[in-house]
Amino acid sequence: MSQIMKKIITTATPQRISFAGGGTDINYFYEKHGGLVLSTTIDKFIYVTVKVHNKLFKEKYRLNYSITEHVDSLDDIKNEIARECIRYLGIDEPLYISSTSDLPALSGLASSSCFAVGLLNALHQLKGDHVSLAQIAEEACHIEINVLKKPIGKQDQYAAAFGGVNLFTFNPNGNVLLTPITNASIFKIFENSLLFYTDIQRSADEVLSDQKNSFGSNEDKMLEIKDLAIQFYNLVCEPKLNLDQLGRLLHQNWVSKKGLSDKISNSLIDTYYSAAMENGAYGGKILGAGGGGFLFLLADKENHPKIIESLNQLELVNFNFEPIGTRTLLNF
């Protein structure tokens, strides 16, 4: 039986924007070719609160997120990430778990993996464990990929755990190498970026499963996406950022990504993207697996008003760089 050391923990875990290389972090690719992803965390968070649930309540587990669960058995918990995190850490005590977020889920900002990382962080602290960020990231990968059989990669869990702008290298043996990008000129990207919510929520599983099934015919496109990540990394490491070149790489990445599956884009998304490009955007992409969620664009700041007007039916989301990964807000 586990020994609970703390009474209540609240964590905040940042969501991420992936610039280039998405998809090469999935095992069927990196085990053969190695993967590369360049991403950043932003100041939008998933918040998780965990506390020992008083035994006077009628249920053993109470969970509050988009729905509320009151159950007595671990097997009856519908939130599969919460269920398997509790099971994995061998916690027997009754628990209350609550989660909320700054932005909608199912939108390409890695909310599920952020929840897994934030929950594991909180549960370990509740037990009094001292674990590294790398262990939390790997445990989140294990639960999502190996236990729950999600057709996803490993970039989201590592970005959520460590935070900042990083190049992640996914080696064929499964090891992950993190290369932080500390070049001060990286902030020029954030000053000249736009983020729009398409109001389309979708599960990444269907898109990624279709992408996996087509891997044989898409292998060259995936290799191109990996090469674009290398080019993007080389550019952001230069003393002076060239927004035009970065935007062109984003655009090439988006074109290559769309070719992986017909579920990644649709006529509405293509219309939004074309309008942005016609009004001064250098390039951009739908974040995450595709199919909806958030549209990220890179453009000179002077062109932002025109782009915003051309996409006035979409919600503009202000965001900033977030240098820190999952952290504790309350440990009481």
pLDDT, mean of each 10-residue run, the chain (332 residues) = 72 97 95 97 98 92 96 98 98 96 92 97 95 98 97 96 98 97 89 94 73 80 96 93 95 92 90 97 92 94 98 96 96 87
Q: Which domain holds residue 137?
A: 8-183
Q: Decide if 120 is inside a domain.
A: yes
Same domain, 159 and 259: no
Q: Would the pTM of this model clear 0.75, i.e. be above it?
A: yes
Q: Decide if 1 is inside a domain.
A: no
Domain boundary among 123, 150, 183: 183
CA atoms lying within 13 Å on the CB side of residue 21: 28
Same domain, 160 and 218: no
The CATH number for 262's domain is 3.30.70.890
Q: How far apart are CA 254 and CA 284, in angstroms?
A: 7
Q: Decide if 231 is inside a domain.
A: yes
Same domain, 224 and 244: yes
DSSP H or E run through 248 = helix 243-258
Ramachandran bin of 280, using left for φ above 0, alpha for ψ from -120 to 50, beta for the remaining angles: left
Tally the domains of the chain.
2
The CATH number for 136's domain is 3.30.230.10
Same domain, 29 and 152: yes
Q: Decide if 57 is inside a domain.
A: yes
Q: Among candidates 162, 190, 196, 175, which has minimal Cα distance to 269?
A: 196
Q: Decide if 252 is inside a domain.
A: yes
